Chains A and B, each alone.
Chain A
C-alpha cells in the first residue's frame, strides 16, 4: 500500500524517456511490435528500440494522416503498431483517420503521444494540446491513458502492447520527478490509491499527480486528510474506485494538464452525477490556449500549481453539506 511518505522523488526523467524504455522492453518480448514515427524519432527517446530492431521501425516523414492508415494496415496483418509523434499531431490533426481506420475498424493500434499539454513549454500554444483527452475519450472503444512519471509510463507501454484494442497513450516532454515504485504493477482501468484519507478525494492524472502529492503533504500538515488517487486510465474509468472514494469523503478535486472540459474532471463529474453527486472542483486549464514559457512557470500561470490544488481542496471542503 502506497502512502505519502513512500512517494518521494528518486530522481528526474521525462515520461517520454519512460516511453522509450517501455517500448524497448515490449519489443524484446513481442516480435510483432512495430514503431512508426512522423519525423520525431529523436523526440520520442526510442533510439534503443530503433537501433536494436531497425526492421521494425518505419519512418513516415511528416505525414501523420498516412501514419494512422499505415498503422491500421499493419494491425490488419497482425502487427502491433505504435504510432509516435507529438500529442497535437497524434489526435486533432488526424481525428478522422483514427475514427474510421482505427477505432471504428477495431484495429489494434497504439497511438503514443508525447509533448502533451502546457509542459511542452517554449514551442507555445500551436503545439500545446489541451483537448486531446476529450477527443480520444469520445471515440467508442478507445482506451485513454495518461501516466504520471517515468516508471509508470514504462510500465504502461508494456501493458498496452499486451492489451488488444486501440489505445491512446499520452505523455510529455519535461524532466519530471520519478516517484512511482519501479515494481508497481500497471493495470489498465484500475485506479491507483496513493494515500488513504477521509476529508477530500483528489483524483489526479499525468504530470499533475506529483503536484497533487505535494499539495496533499501540505494539507495533511494543516489537518486535512486527503484520499489521493491516481487515475492513469481515464477511459475506461475505474468508476467503482471513484464512487467509493467520493462516498467516503464527500468532496472531490480533479487535477489534469488539460482543458477543464472533456478530460478527467469531466469523466469523473459524469460518473459521480449519475451515481453519487458530490461537490467537485476542477484543476485544469480554463478553456484557453497556452503560450510559450518554461514548463513549471506555465503550470503556475494557468492555475495548475501546487497552491492552486491546495486552494481548490479548501474550497470544496467548505462546500460539503
Chain B
C-alpha cells in the first residue's frame, strides 16, 4: 500500500527543485513541470520497477519515456532524487558543459534518459518500439510515455495512435497531460483538440482518466493501467493544472516557458516545504 503522505512530501521537494533549477539558469519551463510533478513522483517512487544503476536496455524493468522534453526540470529532479545521479548536479541545469541539457538527451550520458526529446510528437513511437521489443523478449514489464496536450497536434502522434492498437501493445501506457495550455495560449484557441477520450477510443485504445494532481488517484490509476493486459494499449487522459503548487503560476500558460525572478522564486519556495534538503545554489 502506497504511503501517499510520503509521496506528497517528495513531490514538495521536487517542486522546490524545479523552481531552483529554472531560477538558476533563468530559463526553462516551470509550468508544465510543476503540473506533472505528482505523476513523476508516483511513477518513480511507487509504481515503476526500475533500477537507478541504469541499464539502457532495461530488461525486466518498467520504462518511462518523456515525449514533451521541455518539462525536463521535473524529470531531472525525480531521476536525481531516486538515485540516478547526484542531486547536486541539478545545479548545472541548462549550463554549459552539463549533462542536464535544456531538453533531455542520451548524448551526454545522463543516467535515466533513454532517448532525446524536445522536438515534439516522437515519444509515443519510441515507446511503441520498446513495448514491441519487450514482447519479443518475453519481458512483461510496462512502458509508460507522457505527451503534452498541445503536442497531440503533431501528425506523427496519430501514426503511433494507429500502430499501437493494431499491434495489440497491451504493455503500453500513454499519458496525455490535459492541462489545456500551450505556449501560445489555451489549446482550444490555438488548435482545438476536442475529446482525447473519444479520439483514442475510436482508434482502439483503452481509455482511463485521472486527476494528475491527486496523488492517491494517480497511484491507483497508474497501477491499474500497469497491471492491465487485455490486448489493448492504454491512454490515460490526465487533467493537471499547469504551475500546480505555486499559486501565481497556476492555471495560466504565462509560466509555460519562463523563469521566475528572485522575488518570485522566493515567493514560490515559501509555498513549498523543504522535505529532503535543497541542493546547494548561490543566491537562493
Which A residues form the contact surface with B (CB < 8 A)? 34, 55-56, 58, 60-61, 63, 65-79, 81, 96-97, 99-101, 104-107
Question: How many residues on B have C-beta within 8 angstroms of the other chain's C-beta atoms?
Answer: 37
Annotate B146-173 by CB proximity to A: 1 below 8 A, 0 otherwise: 0000000001100110110011000000
Contact assessment for B132 and A58 in the assembled complex, using a CB-CB cutoff below 8 Å: yes
A103 to chain B, nearest CB (A): 9
A97–B156 CB distance below 8 A: yes
Selected contact of A69 from candidates B56, B133, B155, B156, CB within 8 Å: B156
A-B contact pairs, 7 of them (CB 8 A): A61-B166, A63-B156, A63-B163, A65-B159, A70-B129, A70-B163, A73-B125
Known: A63-B159, A65-B125. A101 touches B133 (CB 8 A): no
List CB contacts (< 8 Å) of B165-220 with chain A: 166-167
Which residues of chain B are within 8 angstroms of A74 by Cβ–Cβ distance? Answer: 129-130, 132-133
Which residue in chain A gives the minimum CB-CB distance to B130? A73
Chain A residues whose CB sits within 8 angstroms of the CB of B167 once the complex forms = 58
In the complex, what residues of B have CB within 8 A of residue A65's CB? 121-122, 125, 155-156, 159
A236 to B59 alpha-carbon distance, docked (Å): 33
- In the docked arrangement, what's the CA distance between A77 and B62, Å? 12
Contact A76 B130 (CB under 8 A): yes
Let me know if B265 is at the binding interface, CB within 8 A.
Answer: no
* Cα-based distance from A97 to B122 in the complex (angstroms): 7
Docked Cα-Cα span, A251 to B156, in Å, equals 47
Residues of chain A within 8 A of B131, CB atoms compared: 73
8 further interface pairs, Cβ-Cβ under 8 Å (given A66-B160, A69-B160, A101-B115): A58-B132, A63-B159, A66-B128, A69-B122, A73-B130, A97-B125, A105-B105, A106-B107
Question: CB distance B162 to A61 under 8 Å?
Answer: yes
Closest residue of B by beta carbon distance from A66: B159
Q: Which residue from B119, B121, B132, B137 sits with its C-beta under 8 Å from A73?
A: B132
Q: What sequence of 0s and 1s flags, for each residue 91-125 of chain B, a beta carbon within 8 Å of any chain A beta carbon?
A: 00000000000000111000000111111011111
Does B136 lie at the interface of the complex (its beta carbon under 8 Å from any beta carbon of A)?
yes
Give the shortest distance, in Å, between B203 (CB) and chain A (any CB): 13
Contact of B114 among A34, A56, A76 (CB under 8 A): A76
- Bound state CA distance, A67 and B160, in angstroms? 9
Complex contact B115–A76 (CB within 8 A)? yes
B7 at the interface (CB under 8 A from A): no
Residue of A34, A56, A58, A69 most packed against chain B (CB within 10 A):
A69
CB of B126 within 8 Å of the partner chain: yes
* B273 contacts chain A at the CB level, 8 A cutoff: no
B15 at the interface (CB under 8 A from A): no
A68 contact set on B, CB distance < 8 A: 125
- B125 to A, closest residue via Cβ: A69
> Given the interface contacts A70-B125, A74-B132, does A104 sit within 8 Å of B163 by beta carbon?
no
Assess whether B58 is interfacial by the CB under 8 Å rule.
Answer: yes
- With a CB–CB cut-off of 8 A, which chain B residues contact A60? 163
Pick the contact of B116 from A34, A55, A77, A104 — CB < 8 Å?
A: A104
Report chain B residues within 8 Å CB of A70: 125-126, 128-129, 132, 163
- Bound complex: CA A78 to CA B61 (Å): 14
Given A73-B130, A76-B130, A101:B114 Cβ within 8 A: no
A76/B162 in contact, CB under 8 A: no
Contact partners of A104 in chain B: CB under 8 A: 105-107, 116
Residues of A near B160 (CB, < 8 A) are 66, 69
Interface pair B129/A69, CB less than 8 Å apart? yes
Q: In this complex, which of B117, B124, B163 has the most chain A Cβ atoms within 10 angstroms of its Cβ?
A: B163
B224 / chain A contacts, CB cutoff of 8 Å: none
Q: Is the CB of A66 within 8 A of B115?
A: no
Closest chain-B Cβ to A160's Cβ sits at a distance in Å of: 19
Task: Say how far B144's CB is from chain A's closest CB, in angstroms.
Answer: 13
The answer to whether residues A100 and B117 also contact, given A60-B163, A74-B129 and a CB cut-off of 8 A, is yes
Q: B136: which A residues are within 8 A, CB to CB?
A: 34, 55-56, 79
Given the complex of chains A and B, what is the CA–CA distance between A69 and B129 in angstroms? 7
Given contacts A65-B156, A104-B107, contact A72 B132 (CB under 8 A): no
Determine the chain B residues whose CB is within 8 A of the CB of A34 once the complex forms.
136
CA distance A116 to B14 in the complex (A): 50
Q: In the complex, what's the smallest C-beta–C-beta distance from B86 to chain A, in angstroms? A: 23
For the complex of A and B, the 10 pairs showing the least CB-CB separation, nearest first, are A73-B129, A69-B125, A77-B133, A63-B159, A66-B159, A70-B129, A73-B130, A65-B156, A73-B126, A74-B129
In the complex, what distance in Å separates the CA atom of A107 from the CA atom of B113?
Answer: 13
Q: Is B134 an interface residue (CB 8 A)?
A: yes
Residue with the highest number of chain B CB atoms closer than 10 Å, among A68, A99, A100, A107: A100
Chain B's nearest CB lies how many Å from the CB of A139?
Answer: 13
The answer to whether B163 and A76 have CB atoms under 8 Å apart is no
* Alpha-carbon separation in the docked complex, A70 to B167 (Å): 12
CB contact under 8 A between A69 and B162, given known A74-B133, A100-B119: no
> CA–CA, A294 to B207, complex, Å?
52
Contact B116 A69 (CB under 8 A): no
Q: Is B42 an interface residue (CB 8 A)?
A: no
A-side contacts of B58, CB under 8 Å: 76-77
* Residue numbers in B under 8 Å from A66 (CB-CB): 125, 128, 156, 159-160, 163
Give complex CA distance A97, B115 in Å.
Answer: 11
| Set of chain B residues within 8 Å of A78, measured between Cβ atoms | 57, 59, 133, 137
Given the complex of chains A and B, what is the CA–CA distance between A97 and B116 in angstroms?
10
Q: Does B11 lie at the interface of the complex (its beta carbon under 8 Å from any beta carbon of A)?
A: no
